[in-house]
Structure formats: structure tokens, C-alpha cells
Amino acid sequence: MRLFCFPYAGGGASIFRSWAAALSPQIEVCAIQYPGRETRSNEPCVQNITQIAEAFGLAMLPFLDKPFALFGHSMGALVSFEVARFLSLTNGPLPEHVFFSASGAPHIQEPNPIHHLSEVEFTRALVRLNGIPTEVLKSVEMLKYMLPILRADFAACETYRYREGAPLRCPMSIFGGDHDSRVDRGRLGAWSDHADGYFSLVMFPADHFFLRTCQTALLNAINHELRPLMASSV
């Protein structure tokens, strides 16, 4: 099974580098690289979730010849949700399971946007959200590189508008952090409106970035959901 992994705002494919060793050997981790960072740093960032999703939906088609699942954290949850909808609307292959992490349901607009703030206020807001690694904050050069990427990604998330559509026809798991100041349990639970069948919500004792601090527990939860699907496809 292939697991396509979509990063959070400001993140790149490298954040999933260690996942392959921790997940079942039957799972091939396929990390998504957004434009504007890491190996695609020479490309402009895209500030539209639907455009990003449709581009990846098309690019992924040749790699959907095996059973697959989608995982997205924060911004990645919105992108992977729209990828799943794109595949459904175009009669493409559908995921065996979707994992949406650290993001409110797509029909609930972000209540506290920050992308329009001045550079100083935007940086302070990111610090409050624990959204900038300490090593970046200590480096003027790295901060200068990261801020435009983060602002573009936050703009994409905060200007995203959900379009009415049918629920996803695949099992859905939602992950959240008990101490996430940006996404509360109510917004996480509202994802059930977009599930047509199996739905689960798992909370971790951490903040928005539990995929770093609770990585083992998170990957165990993913393994738990995918193991029966892989067994049935043998």
C-alpha cells in the first residue's frame, strides 16, 4: 500500500523521512513536496488549496495502481481532502483510508486568520502557535527564507472556502492534540459530516505538532487502521 503524506504549512517532504522505518514494511511512504520549498524552492508558492490539490491529484494518477491512503497534517489535511474529492469527481481510484490531522473540518472557516498581519505580528503569532522551530528563530537568514513560505501557506489555508459536495466514500480517521490552541475538539469532530461510513477521532496529549512529539503513537494508530486493509488485499 502507498501512503501519500501531505505536509503542514511551511513544511516539506523531508518531515516524513523517518516514517518508512516506523510503519509496516508493506507501506510505501510517498511524501508530497509543495512548490516553493526544499527540492522545489525555485518555484513560486501556490496560495490556493484547490489548485494545489488538483495539480497533485493529476500528478499522482500514475502512482495509484496499488491500494493507497492519504495522510495530511494541518494544511496537508485540507490539501489531501481536496485531492480525495478531485479523484472522486473525476472517477479516479479512491483511497482505502484517509487520515486528516490537526485541522478543523473544511466547512468551518478558520476563526483567527493571521496571514494578513505585519511581519512582526505574523512572526509573533507563529511563535505562539509553536509554528517555527527554535533553530529557525535563532537564524535571521533561515527566518527570512521561511516567513514568505509560511505566509503563503497560511494565506492558502485561511482563504480556502469549502464547496458543497458528497461525503468521502472511504474510511476516515481524524487526529488531534489535546493542547492545540488553534484546532479544538469540536472542529475536529465536525469532520464526521464528510464521512460516509467509518469515522474515528484520536486525541494525543500534545499541541498542534503532535506528529513530532507523539510520532510513535501516531504511526501506531496509522498502522492499526491500515493493517486489516493490507491483509485483505493479499
Catalytically active residues, by annotation:
74
- The pairing of strands 2-6 and 68-73 is parallel
Within the chain, residue ranges assigned H as helices are: 19-22, 49-60, 75-89, 119-128, 134-137, 140-158, 185-189, 210-213, 215-232
Residue with cell 484520536: 202
Amino acid at residue number 30? C
In 3D space, the residue among 228, 191, 186 whose CA is nearest the CA of residue 67 turns out to be 228
Q: Residue 171: which of 223, 123, 118, 99 has the closest Cα?
A: 99
